[in-house]
Amino acid sequence: MARIQWRDAGRIVAAAKAAGVDRIDLCVITHFHRDHVGGVTQLASQIKIGTFVDHGPNMEDAAAPREDFAAYEKVAANSKRLIVKPGDQIPVKDIDVQV
């Protein structure tokens, strides 16, 4: 699973544009550590994201995950959000993606 860091947003958008992609249908966030969700604000400001997929509320008490989750929630509020739990299916056409 790709990690989104602040420095990666531009590279992701450049690769998407080179491939003729103008939106990300699903953005899966595995957890709210900075190296996995830290660049989502920058990414969403550069390309449309249809649905964010994550495990629900942040359960960590450390400052960085709290800050990153708060920023993520603001971005995800502008898109659909799918909260999943172990065993759930992520809806991707023609492939089976299970949490």
pLDDT digits (tens, 9 = 90+) for 74-83: 999 989 999 9
Q: What is the pLDDT of residue 35?
A: 84
Element (H or E) spanning 97, and its range? strand 97-98
Q: Where are the domains of the chain?
A: 6-98
Torsion from C-alpha of 76, 51, 31, 4, nearest 10 degrees: -90
Cβ atoms of 29 and 53 closer than 8 Å? yes
pTM of the full predicted structure? Answer: 0.86
Fold for the domain defined by 6-98: Rossmann fold (3.40.50)
Q: What is the pLDDT of residue 69?
A: 93
Question: Where do we find the tokens 């690769």?
Answer: 15
Cβ atoms of 29 and 36 closer than 8 Å? yes
Q: What is the pLDDT of residue 4?
A: 56
**Residue 5: pLDDT above 70?**
no
